[in-house]
C-alpha cells in the first residue's frame, strides 16, 4: 500500500465492538471467547475516542471540492453547508436535476441561484438543462453562467450524451469554458443486449461518454458517480478509451477497490471527488483508498479546481 493511514482499527477490534459483541449478549452459551460486557464497552470507548476521532481529523485536513451535490429546495441549503463543514468540504457544486417543462427547469435553477446567494462561501451552482428544448437550453446556460453558475449538471436521461442534440450544448460549454457533468449508468440491461433495462433507455452508458469526448476533446465532460450502482469495473475499462474524460467518485456504493481500479485505468488526474449527498462514504472511499498523498490531494481538490480555473471560478 502507498499511504493508507493506520487508525489503530482492525478486524478483531471492529467485531468486538459491533456485531460479535451484540451476538455475545444472546449467544454466550454458543460462542467461545466472546468479550465480556465490560471489555466490549471499554474497547468501544477506545474505538470511539481513538478511531473515529482520528478518521475525522484525517479527513478534515484535506481541502475538498465536491463536484456533484444537490440542493433540493432552498431550505436544505443550510444542511448542505453544515454537512460540508463537518467533513472539511470547502465548496460543493449543487444542482436540482429534473423538470418536464422549461418553466420548471428555470424555477429549479432559480433555487440554486438563491442557495448560492445564501451560502456564497460554500455552494457553487450547476445549471440543469434539457437538450430537447434547444433554444431554451442554450439561453438558460447563458443566464445561469451570468448568474455565477460554474458548470452544467447533473444532466439526466432525456437523450444520450452522444446524441447530436447534445452537440450545441457541449459547444456552448466550450465557449463558456465550463465543465459538463451527466448521470452515467452501467446497469446490465442498459449496455448489454438481451437484458431488461433498469434505467430509462436514453440513459448514457460509458460508450456514449467516450463517443462525445472523442468528438469534443477540448470539452470538460464528467461522467457522474462511479458508485451510482451497476458495473463500475466496466465503467473504468471503457472510459479509459477517451483520455479527456473525467469521472466523479460519488454514489452510495463504496465497494473496496473501486477507487483503486479507477486510478489504475484512468489515472488520478481524471478523478474528481464528489458525494452526491453521500457525505461520509464519499470522503471515506478516498481516505481509505490505496493512494499516495499527492494523488489524494489531486482527487479531493486540485483536479476539479483546475477545471474551474479555466473560467476563473476556482477556489482560492
Helices (H), the chain: 11-17, 19-26, 37-46, 53-60, 77-87, 102-118, 134-146, 167-176, 188-191, 206-215, 232-239, 258-266, 279-287, 293-297, 303-309
- Secondary structure of residue 126 in the 3-state scheme: strand
SS3 244: coil
DSSP-assigned beta bridge partners for residue 70? 95
pLDDT tens across 249-303, in order? 999 999 999 999 999 999 999 999 999 999 999 999 999 999 999 999 999 999 9
- Tell me: do 31 and 119 sit in the same domain: no
316 part of a folded domain: no
Helices (H) then strands (E): counts for the chain: 15, 8
Of 7-16, 114-123, 164-173, where does mean pLDDT reach its minimum? 7-16
Three-class SS of residue 184?
strand
Strand order in the sheet with 123-127: 64-70, 89-95, 123-127, 151-155, 180-183, 221-224, 246-248, 271-272
Residue 18's domain comprises 11-53
Assign 198 a pLDDT band (cuts: 50, 70, 90).
confident
Looking at the predicted structure, is the pLDDT value of residue 25 above 70?
no
Shared-domain flag, residues 25 and 98: no
User: What is the rounded radius of gyration, in angstroms, for the C-alpha atoms of the chain?
Assistant: 21
State residue 74's pLDDT score.
75
- pLDDT of 126: 98
Residue 315 covered by a domain:
no
Query: What integer pLDDT is reported at residue 191 of this predicted model?
Result: 62
Domain count, the chain: 2
Question: Is the same domain home to 44 and 87?
Answer: no
Q: What is the pLDDT of residue 200?
A: 83
Q: Grid cell 441549503 — which residue?
A: 77
**Better pLDDT: 125 or 229:** 125
What confidence score (pLDDT) does residue 187 get? 78
Domain-located, residue 186: yes
Band of residue 128 on the pLDDT scale cut at 50, 70, 90: very high
Strand partners, 248: 272
Instruction: Report pLDDT digits (tens) over 201-244.
Output: 899 999 999 999 999 999 999 999 999 988 999 999 999 999 99
Could you tell me if 100 and 127 are in contact, meaning their C-beta atoms sit under 8 angstroms apart? Answer: no
Structure confidence by residue, pLDDT tens digits, 50-109: 666 777 787 899 999 999 999 998 779 999 999 999 999 999 999 999 998 999 999 999
Residues 143 and 283 in one domain: yes
Amino acid at each position: 500500500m502507498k499511504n493508507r493511514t493506520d487508525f489503530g482499527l482492525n478486524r478483531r477490534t471492529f467485531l468486538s465492538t459491533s456485531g460479535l459483541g451484540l451476538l455475545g449478549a444472546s449467544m454466550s452459551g454458543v460462542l467461545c471467547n466472546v468479550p465480556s460486557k465490560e471489555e466490549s464497552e471499554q474497547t468501544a470507548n477506545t474505538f470511539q475516542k481513538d478511531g473515529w476521532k482520528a478518521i475525522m481529523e484525517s479527513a478534515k485536513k484535506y481541502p475538498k471540492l465536491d463536484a456533484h451535490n444537490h440542493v433540493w429546495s432552498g431550505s436544505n441549503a443550510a444542511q448542505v453547508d453544515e454537512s460540508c463543514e463537518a467533513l472539511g468540504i470547502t465548496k460543493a457544486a449543487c444542482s436540482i436535476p429534473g423538470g418536464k417543462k422549461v418553466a420548471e427547469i428555470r424555477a429549479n435553477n432559480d433555487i440554486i441561484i438563491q442557495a448560492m446567494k445564501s451560502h456564497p462561501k460554500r455552494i457553487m451552482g450547476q445549471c440543469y438543462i434539457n437538450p430537447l428544448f434547444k433554444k431554451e437550453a442554450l439561453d438558460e446556460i447563458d443566464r445561469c453562467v451570468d448568474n455565477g453558475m460554474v458548470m452544467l449538471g447533473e444532466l439526466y436521461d432525456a437523450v444520450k450524451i452522444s446524441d447530436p442534440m447534445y452537440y450545441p450544448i457541449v459547444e456552448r460549454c466550450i465557449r463558456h469554458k465550463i465543465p459538463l457533468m451527466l448521470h452515467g449508468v452501467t446497469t446490465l440491461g442498459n449496455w448489454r443486449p438481451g437484458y431488461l433495462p433498469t434505467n430509462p433507455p436514453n440513459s448514457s452508458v460509458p460508450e456514449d461518454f467516450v463517443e462525445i469526448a472523442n468528438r469534443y476533446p477540448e470539452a470538460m465532460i464528467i461522467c457522474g458517480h462511479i458508485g451510482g450502482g451497476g458495473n463500475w469495473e466496466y465503467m473504468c475499462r471503457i472510459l479509459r478509451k477517451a483520455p479527456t474524460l473525467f469521472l466523479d467518485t460519488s454514489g452510495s456504493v463504496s465497494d473496496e477497490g473501486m477507487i483503486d481500479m479507477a486510478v489504475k485505468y484512468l489515472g488520478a488526474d481524471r478523478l474528481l471527488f464528489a458525494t452526491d449527498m453521500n457525505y461520509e462514504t464519499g470522503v471515506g472511499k478516498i481516505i481509505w483508498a490505496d493512494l499516495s498523498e499527492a494523488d489524494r490531494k489531486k482527487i479531493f481538490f486540485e483536479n476539479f479546481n483546475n477545471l474551474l480555473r479555466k473560467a476563473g471560478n476556482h477556489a482560492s
